[in-house]
Amino acid sequence: DVRDKGVSKNYNTKPNESAHRPLKRFYKRTNFKNTDPQILKLNEISVAATLIREVIAESDDAILERDLDLEKGEGVEDESKSGSLQHTTVGSPLKSRQLSEVEAEHSDDGAFSEFRKKVNTALISFISSDESVANEEKATPYQYIKLSYESVINWQITTDILRTNECFHNRPRYDFVLLQASKKDFIFAQLLYTFGVTFNECIYQMALILPMDKPIVQSKNLFHKLDIDLRFKRLRSRPRSGTAVIGLDSLIRGAVLIEAYGCKNNDEFIVMDVVDADMWWRMKTIKLARSQVLL
What is the secondary structure of 192-234 as a DSSP string?
EEEEEEEETTEEEEEEEEEE------GGG-TTHHHHHHHT--E
Helix %, strand %, coil % for the chain, to 5?
35, 30, 35
**Contact present, 244 and 118 (Cβ < 8 Å):** yes
pLDDT attached to residue 74: 45
Per-residue pLDDT band at 76 (split at 50, 70, 90): very low
Per mean pLDDT, which range of 8-17, 35-44, 84-93 is the poorest? 8-17
Euclidean distance between CA atoms 57 and 181, whole angstroms = 45
The burial class, CB within 10 Å (0-12 / 13-18 / 19+), for 117 is: middle
Nearest to 197 by CA among 253, 248, 128: 248
Is the pLDDT higher at 241 or at 5? 241
Q: Is the pLDDT of residue 77 over 60?
A: no
Please write the tens of the pLDDT for every residue from 250-274: 999 999 999 988 787 888 999 999 9
What confidence tens digit (pLDDT) does each residue in 86-125 have?
789 999 999 998 888 999 999 899 999 989 889 888 888 8
Residue 9: per-residue pLDDT: 62
* Residue 185 pLDDT exceeds 90: no
For residues 295 and 49, which has the higher predicted lDDT (pLDDT)? Answer: 49
pLDDT at residue 291 greater than cutoff 50: yes
H-assigned helices in 140-181: none
Quick one: pLDDT at residue 112?
92
CB-based contact 250:211 (threshold 8 Å): no
Angle at 291 between CA 229 and CA 280, to 5 degrees: 45
CB 119 within 8 A of CB 198: no
pLDDT of residue 226: 85
In the predicted model, is pLDDT for residue 220 greater than 50? yes
Assess whether pLDDT exceeds 70 at residue 180: yes
Residues 6+ apart with CB under 8 A from 193: 111, 112, 141, 164, 207, 208
CB 186 within 8 A of CB 262: no
Rounded CA-CA distance 238/111 in Å is 10
71-80, 141-150, 197-206, 275-284: least confident range:
71-80
Question: Judging by DSSP bridges, how do beta strands 244-247 and 171-174 pair with one another?
Answer: unpaired
Higher pLDDT, 199 or 158: 158
The Cα-based distances of 226 to 175, 257, 261 in angstroms read: 26, 17, 12
Contact indicator for 207, 122 with CB cutoff of 8 Å: no
Q: What is the pTM of this model?
A: 0.67
For the chain, the straight-line distance linking the first and the last C-alpha, in angstroms and rounded, comes to 96
Q: Identity (one letter) of the amino acid at 150?
A: E
Q: What is the mean pLDDT of residues 161-165?
A: 93
Q: Is the pLDDT of residue 217 over 70?
A: yes
Maximum Cα interatomic distance, the chain, rounded to a whole number of Å: 108
- Where does residue 169 fall: left (phi above 0), alpha (psi -120 to 50 degrees), or beta otherwise? left
Of 214, 216, 218, 215, which is closest to residue 226 (Cα–Cα)? 218
- How confident is the prediction for the chain on average, in pLDDT? 84
Taking 70 as the threshold, does the pLDDT of residue 191 lie above it?
A: yes
